[in-house]
């Protein structure tokens, strides 16, 4: 399976789909034939891959004939309808939506954390976790292996690109309106994000949490295979285009010192430690944008809970939070 794969990218004209094409190209994934797929309104457009133009085709059962790998990033509704069809034709499906993340028959994979779970995929589908969950669990993995997670308190500072190209354009229009002294259109973003913070994900009326926050609870437990891990999340949208940031407080079943945590994180796959606050050095979204690692800094012992750890985690939500993780899943299953 390692040579000459036929690869379909569903949602190829979207932000994450375009990033998937870049990642496949940059990582020299063995694509013998590319099938860029989108809705009827995008069919006929072209995308560039490995220096050649490829025409986008409308999604239909026949486009998955002979496909070895189908990367989906076109929304939950599209995935629920078409991912099983692609899988039924023999494709490995890696889905970036939330459609299958809670399905017990669909593994939820971050290759640096639980690659072994990808082997059991009775539906032929593997789910990509939420972007905020991915970077968090990569940073938590070495601490979990050392002393087992007990509780995680996390506040996210999420970039607007997580809502797609339309949201980015709306945010930029708000920025321009303010610069001109004009009226800000608040409708498209459910509020003013420029020079402001928002919490505008779908609320859960029973708990008072947002769906985005509850995803981090269930997905973290599923990825680590431990339903007892307590996760207390708060999700915030910030006026940043690309790269999510997270303030994470960790309590483990055995105490960990900051020195030991820093050592573990420095040795972990997929992590780059950027940590010298005295010199003004810590992870920043402007530096993480366009990069692959999960950056970890401000690693310190929790003054409010001795034996616990606090850290600051930043990563590109379009790459490791979506496209890169999906391609890494494919590499784990098809190329190793």
**What is the CATH number for 141?**
3.30.360.10
pLDDT in tens, 8-27: 999 999 999 999 999 999 99
Pair 119, 175 in one domain = no
Active-site annotation holds for 144:
no
330 conformational bin, left if phi > 0, alpha if psi -120 to 50, beta if neither:
alpha
Pair 257, 148 in one domain = yes
- 3 has pLDDT over 80: no
| DSSP secondary structure letter of residue 198 | B
* Mean pLDDT, all residues of the chain: 97
Point out the catalytic residue in the list 54, 144, 244, 253.
Answer: 244
What CATH code is carried by the domain that includes residue 121?
3.40.50.720
Pair 184, 298 in one domain = yes
Q: Which two tokens stand for residue 107?
A: 């593994």
pLDDT in tens, 238-273: 999 999 999 999 999 999 999 999 999 999 999 999
Pair 293, 169 in one domain = yes
Q: What is the DSSP string of 103-123?
A: -TTS-B--TTT-GGGGG--TT
Pair 270, 192 in one domain = yes
Pair 71, 27 in one domain = yes
Please report where in the chains the tokens 């070895």 appear, as a residue: 68
Question: pTM to 2 decimals?
Answer: 0.96
pLDDT in tens, 141-191: 999 999 999 999 999 999 999 999 999 999 999 999 999 999 999 999 999
Pair 141, 20 in one domain = no
**Per the structure, how many domains does the chain have?**
2
254, 248, 9: which is closest to 138 by C-alpha? 248
Q: How confident is the model at residue 2 (pLDDT cuts 50, 70, 90)?
A: low
- 1 has pLDDT over 80: no
Point out the catalytic residue in the list 131, 144, 200, 253.
Answer: 131
pLDDT in tens, 24-70: 999 999 999 999 999 999 999 999 999 999 999 999 999 999 999 99
Beta-bridged to residue 72, according to DSSP, are 10, 95
Pair 143, 71 in one domain = no
Beta-sheet pairing, 52-55 with 149-158? unpaired
Pair 119, 210 in one domain = no
Pair 73, 155 in one domain = no
Pair 139, 264 in one domain = yes
Q: Output the CA–CA distances (angstroms, integers) from residue 209 to 39, 80, 97, in the order listed.
A: 32, 25, 20
Please report where in the chains the tokens 């590109």 appear, as a residue: 316
CA atoms within 13 A on the CB side of 334: 27
pLDDT at 13: 95
pLDDT in tens, 304-318: 999 999 999 999 999
- 336 has pLDDT over 90: no
Percent of the chain with pLDDT over 70: 99
Domain enclosing residue 10, as ranges:
5-129+322-335
Active-site annotation holds for 131:
yes
Pair 120, 168 in one domain = no
220 conformational bin, left if phi > 0, alpha if psi -120 to 50, beta if neither:
alpha
């Amino acid at each position: 399976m390692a040579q000459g794969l036929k690869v379909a990218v569903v949602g190829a004209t979207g932000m994450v789909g375009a990033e998937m094409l870049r990642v496949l190209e940059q990582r020299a994934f063995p694509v013998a034939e590319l099938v860029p797929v989108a809705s009827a309104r995008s069919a006929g457009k072209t995308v560039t891959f490995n220096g050649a133009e490829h025409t986008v085709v409308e999604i239909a059962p026949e486009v998955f004939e002979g496909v070895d790998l189908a990367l989906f990033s076109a929304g939950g509704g599209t995935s629920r309808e078409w991912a099983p069809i692609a899988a039924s034709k023999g494709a490995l499906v890696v889905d970036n939506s939330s459609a299958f993340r809670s399905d017990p028959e669909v593994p939820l994979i971050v290759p640096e954390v639980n690659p072994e779970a990808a082997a059991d995929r009775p539906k032929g589908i593997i789910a990509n976790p939420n972007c905020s969950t991915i970077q968090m669990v990569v940073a938590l993995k070495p601490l979990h292996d050392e002393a087992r997670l007990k509780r995680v308190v996390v506040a996210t500072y999420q970039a607007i690109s997580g809502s797609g190209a339309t949201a980015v354009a709306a945010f930029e229009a708000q920025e321009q309106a303010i610069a001109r002294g004009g009226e800000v259109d608040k409708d498209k973003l459910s509020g003013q994000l420029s020079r402001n913070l928002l919490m505008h994900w779908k609320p859960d009326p029973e708990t008072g949490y947002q769906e985005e926050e509850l995803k981090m609870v269930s997905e973290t437990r599923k990825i680590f295979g431990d339903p007892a891990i307590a996760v207390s999340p708060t999700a915030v949208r910030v006026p940043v285009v690309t790269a999510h940031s997270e303030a994470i407080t960790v309590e483990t079943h055995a105490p960990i010192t900051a020195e030991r945590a820093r050592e573990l994180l420095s040795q972990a796959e997929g992590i780059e430690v950027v940590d010298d606050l005295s010199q003004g050095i810590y992870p920043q979204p402007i530096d993480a944008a366009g990069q692959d690692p999960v950056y970890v800094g401000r690693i310190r012992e929790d003054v409010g809970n001795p034996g616990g750890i606090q850290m600051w985690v930043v990563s590109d939500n379009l790459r490791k939070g979506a496209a890169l993780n999906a391609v890494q899943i494919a590499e784990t299953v098809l190329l190793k």
